[in-house]
Amino acid sequence: MSETYDVVLIGGGVMSATLGTFLQQLQPEWKIAVFERLGQVAAESSNAWNNAGTGHSALCELNYMPDPTDPAKALAINEQFQQSRQFWSSLVDQGILDAPSTFINATPHMTFVRGAKNVAYLKRRYQTLRKQALFDTIEFSTDSRVINTWAPLLMDKRLKVDEPFAATRVTGGTDVDFGSLTRQLISAMTDRGAHLLLDTEVRDLTRLADGTWRVDYRRRIGRAPGRVNARFVFVGAGGWAIKLLQRSGIPEIKGFGVFPIGGQWLKTSDPEIVARHKAKVYSQAAIGAPPMSVPHLDTRVVDGESSLLFGPFATFSPKFLKNGSLWDIVSQVRFHNIGSMLKVGATNLDLVKYLVTELLKTRGKKVDSLREFMPTAQDDDWELLDAGQRAQVMKGGKLQFGTEVVSAADGSIAGLLGASPGASTAVSIMLGLLKKSFPDRSAEWEPKLAELIPTYGQTLNRDAAQAHRVLARTASELDINA
Ligand SMILES: Cc1cc2nc3c(=O)[nH]c(=O)nc-3n(C[C@H](O)[C@H](O)[C@H](O)COP(=O)(O)OP(=O)(O)OC[C@H]3O[C@@H](n4cnc5c(N)ncnc54)[C@H](O)[C@@H]3O)c2cc1C
């Protein structure tokens, strides 16, 4: 007889960790199992070195505001991150998360642009954002002396260059170690009774006559097969979510495909260089570049150690996970998605051109790109690291850069496709998923959700006084005061 779980979470990344934590808060008696194919959790995209650790809140990322007069998307992302901050703060309070500095650190978010057109755009964006309560501490400058005090590495040896430049800064930005966050959440889940099965790969999902799911798995060591039953399945398998959702046979996955984009970073731990830069500095995308591949020069704090990362540089691999299979890209092809995928190939020539250019970039050329940010960068100070794989959603002949929750009509299974804005908005994504997958429980769960996220269901930016209060409270609770 197979064991029956109320909830099976496939994948030990930040998404499963966030959903599992919510469910333990809401239904502590539910029996939960987490399946992870690798020997540890948080070893794919959620690992600190596989992502950039930006607490995405649109303070510095220009892709959320292509039109400098329209703050709607930037506001939405920021509101989502405020939910994450409040949730994490409640979990610190409960002792589920350790000291905030183990997973989140204050890091100013800056944008730096060059050229008259880009300077005009940034100024306009600043004028729009400073009127919004969630962004009203934003600063703008074209003065090299001011920018030099914000991020001296940007200005060293740039002073002689006769080219206009400008920067914005919000001191209340953050760097997040999503790997540490994930490990802590899953460890607290197992302390509270969840079963974690490492080295265990879910191979198949079958809907049973009573509406529950049979989950077939295989142990990686010894390859012994096994199965459990689940009333609800979350496919939090990152890049492999598409494969499992296709195996489940739910009609909702029809038409979807994913396109893998890999990445690389330049990293330095040289204490003298690291000491001179404390910010995440984003800029503008090259033509054809996917929005999340815009290189940025970032302070990272991982395991208490600071370093600087520059990137990501896009790479190509047919794998959907760093530890995926070379067959991933072809194994997803179905009659129902091939047309859409071919159309994406034919209509994204700029992206193809961009990827080819990036692939041809030698290590030296990558350091040249870094020198556009940091003119004094020396090749020997920087090492090249592989970042995580992103599996971007293809649907209706279009390549999308967001995330998409795909769930069955009866709510018994849901999975997450796509990569951006990703981990920062895991809380908001999971709140949406809870509503969609458990509509009958929404009303019953609301008081607990409001306890965990005091402004649950509210739009902070509408009320400046409240927005400032919440920002100040979570900054103090998470010890990220600017
Ligand atoms: C280069 C890069 C930069 C990024 N930068 C940022 C950033 O700055 N800020 C931000 O918020 N987000 C960022 N992201 C996005 C963020 O990392 C992801 O959105 C997030 O980590 C996804 O979490 P996940 O749990 O869905 O997937 P993952 O962390 O990939 O976890 C999926 C897990 O499922 C396991 N798995 C897969 N298949 C199976 C199976 N069949 N059985 C059992 N286990 C399975 C995998 O081994 C893996 O552990 C970035 C991503 C990349 C790649």
Q: What tens digit of pLDDT does each residue of 72-85 get?
A: 999 999 999 999 99
Q: 178 in ligand 1 pocket by Cβ < 6 Å?
A: yes
Q: At what angle do helices 72-94 and 426-437 cross, to 10 degrees?
A: 90
Q: Give the mean pLDDT of 199-218.
A: 97
Check pLDDT > 70 for residue 36. yes
pLDDT per residue as tens digits for the range 225-278: 999 999 999 999 999 999 999 999 999 999 999 989 889 999 999 999 999 999
Q: Give the mean pLDDT of 398-409.
A: 88
Picking from 24-33, 58-67, 158-167, 253-262, which range would have the lowest pLDDT averaged per residue?
158-167
Q: 61 in ligand 1 pocket by Cβ < 6 Å?
A: no
With H, G, I as helix, E, B as strand and everything else as coil, classify residue 426: helix
Residue with more model confidence, 335 or 137: 137
Nearest Cα residue to 56 out of 109, 132, 121:
109
Check pLDDT > 60 for residue 472. yes
50 CA distance to ligand 1 middle (Å): 8
426 CA distance to ligand 1 middle (Å): 11
Q: Where are the alpha helices (DSSP H) in 70-211?
A: 72-94, 116-129, 144-150, 152-155, 178-191
Cα-based angle 403, 326, 13 (whole degrees, multiple of 5): 40
Q: With the C-alpha atoms ordered 145, 149, 150, 156, is the resulting torsion angle positive or negative?
A: positive
Q: What is the rounded distance in angstroms from the CA atom of residue 228 to the CA atom of residue 3?
A: 5
Given a contact cutoff of 8 angstroms between Cβ atoms, the answer to whether 402 and 418 are in contact is yes
Q: 387 in ligand 1 pocket by Cβ < 6 Å?
A: yes
| pLDDT tier for residue 292 given thresholds of 50, 70 and 90 | low
Look at ligand 1, atom 41, and give the residue with the nearest C-alpha.
202
pLDDT per residue as tens digits for the range 419-464: 777 899 999 999 999 999 999 999 999 999 999 999 999 999 999 9
In the chain, what percentage of residues exceed pLDDT 90?
A: 78
Check pLDDT > 70 for residue 211. yes
479: left (phi over 0), alpha (psi -120 to 50) or beta: left
Structural domains of the chain sorted by starting position, each given as residue range(s) with its CATH number in brackets = 3-462 (3.50.50.60)
C-alpha distances in Å from residue 332, one per residue of 246, 257, 320, 432: 8, 7, 10, 26
Strand segments, DSSP code E, in 269-365 are 280-282, 296-302, 305-315
| pLDDT tier for residue 288 given thresholds of 50, 70 and 90 | low
Pocket mutation for ligand 1, best pick of 18, 46, 64, 83 (most atoms within 8 Å of C-beta) = 46
Q: 15 in ligand 1 pocket by Cβ < 6 Å?
A: yes
Pocket mutation for ligand 1, best pick of 38, 40, 45, 242 (most atoms within 8 Å of C-beta) = 45
Picking from 36-50, 185-199, 248-262, which range would have the lowest pLDDT averaged per residue?
248-262
| pLDDT tier for residue 293 given thresholds of 50, 70 and 90 | low
46 CA distance to ligand 1 middle (Å): 5
With H, G, I as helix, E, B as strand and everything else as coil, classify residue 469: helix
Q: 183 in ligand 1 pocket by Cβ < 6 Å?
A: no
Q: What is the mean pLDDT of the chain?
A: 93
128 CA distance to ligand 1 middle (Å): 33
Q: Look at residue 291 in the predicted model and tell me its pLDDT.
A: 63
Ligand 1 atom closest to Cα of 217?
42
Q: 422 in ligand 1 pocket by Cβ < 6 Å?
A: yes
Q: 10 in ligand 1 pocket by Cβ < 6 Å?
A: yes
In the chain, what percentage of residues exceed pLDDT 70?
A: 98
Ligand 1 atom closest to Cα of 203?
41
448 Cα distance to chain centroid: 25
Q: 250 in ligand 1 pocket by Cβ < 6 Å?
A: no
pLDDT per residue as tens digits for the range 44-99: 999 999 999 999 999 999 989 999 999 999 999 999 999 999 999 999 999 999 99
Q: 56 in ligand 1 pocket by Cβ < 6 Å?
A: yes
Q: Look at residue 108 in the predicted model and tell me its pLDDT.
A: 98
Given a contact cutoff of 8 angstroms between Cβ atoms, the answer to whether 395 and 242 are in contact is no
421 Cα distance to chain centroid: 5
Q: Look at residue 287 in the predicted model and tell me its pLDDT.
A: 63
- How many CB atoms sit inside 10 A of residue 449's CB? 20
Q: Give the mean pLDDT of 346-368.
A: 81
- How many CB atoms sit inside 10 A of residue 442's CB? 12
Q: 405 in ligand 1 pocket by Cβ < 6 Å?
A: no
Q: Give the mean pLDDT of 132-153.
A: 96
The structure's pTM equals 0.96
Q: 392 in ligand 1 pocket by Cβ < 6 Å?
A: no
Using only C-alpha atoms, the chain has a radius of gyration, in whole angstroms, of: 22
Q: 58 in ligand 1 pocket by Cβ < 6 Å?
A: no
Q: Look at residue 356 in the predicted model and tell me its pLDDT.
A: 76
Q: 236 in ligand 1 pocket by Cβ < 6 Å?
A: yes
Check pLDDT > 60 for residue 160. no
Check pLDDT > 80 for residue 218. yes
Q: What is the rounded distance in angstroms from the CA atom of residue 184 to the CA atom of residue 179?
A: 9
Q: Which long-range contacts (CB under 8 A, 24 or more apart) does 351-359 make?
A: 351/288, 351/289, 351/290, 351/399, 352/288, 353/288, 354/286, 354/287, 354/288, 354/289, 354/290, 354/293, 354/314, 355/261, 355/314, 355/316, 358/293, 358/313, 358/314, 358/315, 359/314, 359/315, 359/316
Q: Look at residue 353 in the predicted model and tell me its pLDDT.
A: 78
Contacts of 146 (CB under 8 A, 6+ apart): none
Given a contact cutoff of 8 angstroms between Cβ atoms, the answer to whether 333 and 341 are in contact is yes
Q: Give the mean pLDDT of 184-212.
A: 97
Q: 37 in ligand 1 pocket by Cβ < 6 Å?
A: yes
